[in-house]
Amino acid sequence: MKKHIQKISLFVFMVLAAVSCRDESLLPVVPFDDLEKGAFARLVELRAGTFDLFALGTAQYSATVEFDDDNSGQNVAEYRVYASFDGAQGMKAEQLAKTYSSFTVGGERGLPRTDITFTPAELISLLNLDESLLDGGDVFNMRAEIVMNDGRVFGGDNSSANLVAEPPFNSLFNWAITVVCEFDSALWTGDYQMTTTGLGIFATPTFTDGVVTFEEGATSTSRTFVTRPYPAFGVFSERTFTINFICGDILMADGQATGVGCGSSTLLGTSPNVTTYDANNIDDSSFTLNFLDDIGGASCGAEAAGQVVFTKL
């Protein structure tokens, strides 16, 4: 018992540093390195973030990104984007997809910005895939880096682990374009009762049970809800979490930071034990979500398999 208590006492939760008041609805800001050393990118607008399996010919990933550094972004030379693939056709190694080096000026501060776009046809050709074999849940993994005028390169692999854990940081330098099956936007929205049915790390609930409101997320097939993590250990700040509904599979979005942990934030992610729904006859009245708590035990030493049930009110 003493050893168990000591172990819990080491579970020192910390709320990750934020700039001013944290508002998940604001434009994501992605810090790279200290401004004296590097640069950072800001997502100005995400217009489309997935590929619809039923409309590959017209599907497109489309976003606007702007850049800043200690010289108002003037030291940024290039924004390089790489792509790899993981899906029904196996894994395809990363290839350089596009290099953006021509920037316009916009926003209140007149920072350099660019539109980034990718179509299924471009990535299929780049990675030598067969379009007829694409399937729901296939993922194009995208990785980007900033190249400075002096040749230095900055990306997620040479930044603070705490910053990399934050979705606003990761969103422009490591992201996924998923092949999805579109559905009616009214589905999986509104109020749900959330009930823990499988405990997370330290055999405690990962989320605070109660009524949560589902809203459409960054993509048309994702839904977000707001709750407080780890209620057994205190009252922590509310966080927004994302669930993806992909062609019959219900998936917790990978790499979501809880904002608390044992020295660094725990991350939540997709469970190998995926729950499903009937994509041809969708019933959103109730569903079960399996997920991983503290992926790989990277923060608190032991990964756990959590589970919650959502019932529509």
Give the pLDDT of residue 109: 85
Are both 115 and 40 inside the same structural domain?
A: yes
Are both 272 and 255 inside the same structural domain?
A: yes
* Residue 275 forms part of a structural domain: yes
Buried b (16+ CB within 10 A) or exposed e, 184-212: eeebbeeebebebebbbbbebbbbbeeeb
Are both 84 and 113 inside the same structural domain?
A: yes
CATH number at residue 45: 2.60.40.10
CATH number at residue 241: 2.40.128
Chunked into runs of 10 residues, the chain (313 residues) has average pLDDT values of 36 37 40 53 87 93 89 91 95 97 89 95 97 92 92 70 45 82 93 98 97 93 96 96 94 94 94 93 96 96 97 98
Give the pLDDT of residue 35: 40
Are both 108 and 217 inside the same structural domain?
A: no
Are both 168 and 221 inside the same structural domain?
A: no
* Residue 120 forms part of a structural domain: yes
Are both 126 and 214 inside the same structural domain?
A: no
CB within 8 Å of 268: residues ≥ 6 apart: 206, 241, 252, 255, 256, 257, 258, 291, 292, 293, 295, 306
Are both 172 and 35 inside the same structural domain?
A: yes
* Residue 6 forms part of a structural domain: no
* Residue 307 forms part of a structural domain: yes
Give the pLDDT of residue 43: 84
Q: Considering Cα of 179, then 181, then 185, then 190, what sign does the dihedral take?
A: negative
CB within 8 Å of 37: residues ≥ 6 apart: none
End-of-domain residue from the set 180, 199, 226: 180
Are both 172 and 241 inside the same structural domain?
A: no
Are both 155 and 196 inside the same structural domain?
A: no
Residue 167, phi-psi category: left (phi > 0), alpha (psi -120 to 50), beta (remainder): alpha
CA 116 – CA 124 distance, rounded (Å): 17
CA 212 to chain CA centroid, Å, is: 20
**Structural domain that includes position 268:** 183-312
Give the pLDDT of residue 157: 65
Give the pLDDT of residue 106: 86
CA 110 – CA 104 distance, rounded (Å): 9
Domain count, the chain: 2
Give the pLDDT of residue 162: 45
Residue 250: exposure state from Cβ atoms within 10 A (0-12, 13-18, ≥19): buried
Are both 75 and 115 inside the same structural domain?
A: yes
Are both 156 and 224 inside the same structural domain?
A: no
Give the pLDDT of residue 158: 53
